[in-house]
Amino acid sequence: MNIHLRELQRNDYPEVIEIVRDIWDGDDYVPSVFMNWIQEEGSCCRGLFISEKLVGFSRLKRLSNTVGWLQGLRVDPSEQGKGYGRMIAERMVDFCFSIGLKDLYFSTYFDNKSSIHIHEKIGFERIGVYTNLYKSVNTPPQDSFRGCLMLDESLPIVKAGFWNGWSFYPEGTEAPWRFLPEHLILINSNSGDSIVVARNCEASSSLEISSVWSKSKKLNDDIILHAEKLCYNRGQSEIHLMLPPDVEIAPFIENGYSFFERENDVFLYKLSAAS
């Protein structure tokens, strides 16, 4: 049996589609992003072939010369439970370190037991737990500003890292504005609270709150409502964010945001190369 990994190309698309057809009840986002994954600079999508048949794959997005983001680990449902997922993950990590990357990151959902198990076995360490929040926006929000809000279009310096969709961009990400299209910083000058909004890189109809910072740990309504207004005015229909554990969820819930299943549902992992 010939087993090997190689970089995926355009003509692998039909097999990729076949693999993800029934994953998450057919709701997998891979079909809509695969062509970007194989074209984007710094992106590398590698597939595991067994006797020339594609059984699974994973994607690396290089964030700098030393930092990489891993995503899109998939195994054909009919081939799951046979060790292929772990094989792909391990070989992908080896590949990343072989090209000079030093720190690798990825995220997964709290109930994805096999993904968590595979990555923890490889040595990934959980470095953060976030709450995935979203809100549909179909009407303009009822905003009545009490605080004074400033809009800042300069490049945000997001020291603690930031999210866009399901991808996290840690400090050290080169040219971070690439991952914050149409970004804007909203600052409440009374409280000092700030958020960074951008277009969601993987779903242009979604406004991403990429970073949330609050001295009091509780954002006030003004800034939340203003983000919603921006979403509406930009013609987008959803807001999404990954809320860090040190910022209260209550103001978002009170303003109509929902979580998927529960709080603290997204785990962020990191693995560093041995020095």
Ligand X SMILES: CC(C)(COP(=O)(O)OP(=O)(O)OC[C@H]1O[C@@H](n2cnc3c(N)ncnc32)[C@H](O)[C@@H]1OP(=O)(O)O)[C@@H](O)C(=O)NCCC(=O)NCCS
**Residues that bind ligand X in the complex, under the rule CB under 6 A:** 23, 73-75, 80-86, 108, 112-115, 117-118, 121
Pick 22 or 246: Cβ nearer ligand X: 22
Pick 257 or 267: Cβ nearer ligand X: 267
Q: Are 251 and 94 in contact (CB under 8 A)?
A: no
Residue 73 beta carbon to ligand X: minimum distance, rounded to whole angstroms: 5
Residue 222 beta carbon to ligand X: minimum distance, rounded to whole angstroms: 36
| Closest residue to ligand X using C-beta atoms | 85
Pick 130 or 257: Cβ nearer ligand X: 130
Pick 19 or 212: Cβ nearer ligand X: 19
Measured CA to CA, the distance from residue 190 to residue 149 in angstroms comes to 8
Pick 91 or 178: Cβ nearer ligand X: 91
Assigned token pair, 146: 């009490």
Amino acid at 22: D
Q: How far are the Cα atoms of 34, 150, 222, 236 from residue 186, in angstroms, in the given order?
A: 33, 6, 10, 18
Residue 118 beta carbon to ligand X: minimum distance, rounded to whole angstroms: 5
Pick 56 or 141: Cβ nearer ligand X: 56
Residue 268 beta carbon to ligand X: minimum distance, rounded to whole angstroms: 11
Largest pairwise CA distance in the chain: 68
Residue 105 beta carbon to ligand X: minimum distance, rounded to whole angstroms: 12
Residue 44 beta carbon to ligand X: minimum distance, rounded to whole angstroms: 17
Amino acid at 174: E
Pick 29 or 232: Cβ nearer ligand X: 29
Q: Are 148 and 188 in contact (CB under 8 A)?
A: yes
Residue 9 beta carbon to ligand X: minimum distance, rounded to whole angstroms: 21
